[in-house]
Amino acid sequence: MTRARKELISLEATPYYHCVSRCVRRAFLCGEDRFTGKSYEHRREWIVERLRLLADVFCIDVCAYAVMSNHWHVVVKVDSEKQKQLSNQQVIDRWRQLYSGNVLIGRYLSGVEMTKPELDVVDEVVDKWRERLCDISWFMRGVNETIAREANAEDQCTGRFWEGRFKSQALLDEASLLAVMAYVDLNPIRAAMAETPEDSEFTSIQSRIQNDDEHLVSFVGGYKIGKPKGIPFEWMDYLELVDWSGRVVHPKKKGFINSRQPPILRRLGLDEFSWQSCLDELPLLGQQSLCIERLLKSDRQRAA
């Protein structure tokens, strides 16, 4: 039985969520349809550009994403503190980047004199918009509705483009967050669409490698006083984690990173540094991180 979205998303439990939307038609979201030979590759950029816009409008940050042939993934972090700090004017300015608003909001912005009941309605509308700025359902709707309209117009057809609802998964700790981010970034490799993370087009990891990551949550290392908000992990250690994970042959997936590929830090010309120093900053990752540490350390020794 389908569960209500409010039962699947609880910001009191965690701000991190993994969401997936899948096409309902055989016609591809992106890629090339082998039956017709028609290419839909340009639609990947539609989603990435839409994500960039929504990351600026909503109080929802993007940690990772991957745009595939008939579905797309995104890992998000809801920033409720940012939402609370926005003034009414900032809420209006953000929301009107996506939607036109209503007549009373237009009058309010024009500076005309308004009655007390009218101002009360304006406050109610702004409060509703403020709440939506932290609503994952509205965030996903902001992507999917726009892409569906553009795709239907291009295909010269009508009807549903996406499955009924996007799927969401709560990520309750940092270990889960890192595991799912790596899973998302490895999607093109697992589908045999790319050989390495740096070659995986329309993914967050390629954007980060190319320093095109202003729209993404930053890696900030361990939790320390005065450090900015972000993913509590070191960027180069995350690269190693993804590279090691991609070399593991998955029994149900056809793609993997070839073992003859040099380590990713060597491929990218980055200096390796002590994984243990990262662990000293990350006590909250627990035993899963200790396992990852041993695996990465042995992998580096074999590569040397």
Cβ contacts of 217-226, under 8 Å, gap ≥ 24: 217/61, 217/62, 217/63, 217/77, 221/278, 221/281, 222/278, 222/280, 222/281, 222/282, 222/283, 223/281, 223/282, 223/284, 224/281
The two three-digit tokens of residue 26, written as one number:
């055989």
Model confidence at 297: pLDDT above 50: no
Q: What is the pTM of this model?
A: 0.82
> Is residue 35 very low, low, confident or very high in pLDDT (cuts 50, 70, 90)?
confident
Residues 116 and 103: their CA atoms lie apart, in Å, by 16
Sign of CA dihedral 184, 186, 191, 194: positive
Q: What is the CA angle 61-63-68, rounded to 5?
A: 115
What confidence score (pLDDT) does residue 122 get? Answer: 93
What confidence score (pLDDT) does residue 222 get? Answer: 66
The lowest-confidence range among 90-99, 151-160, 209-218 is: 151-160
Give the 3-state secondary structure of residue 281.
helix
**Domains recognised in the chain with CATH numbers:** 13-86+133-171 (3.30.70.1290), 87-132 (no CATH), 173-304 (no CATH)
User: What are the angstrom distances between the C-alpha of 296 and each of 44, 49, 249, 257, 289?
Assistant: 32, 34, 16, 15, 10
Q: Where are the beta strands (DSSP E) in 109-185?
A: 167-170
User: What are the angstrom distances between the C-alpha of 299 and each of 188, 280, 294, 304?
Assistant: 23, 20, 8, 9
Model confidence at 252: pLDDT above 70: yes
Model confidence at 163: pLDDT above 90: no
Residue with tokens 């509705």: 145
Residues 71 and 258: their CA atoms lie apart, in Å, by 25
First to last CA, the chain: 52
Average pLDDT, the chain: 83
Between 292 and 117, the higher pLDDT residue: 117
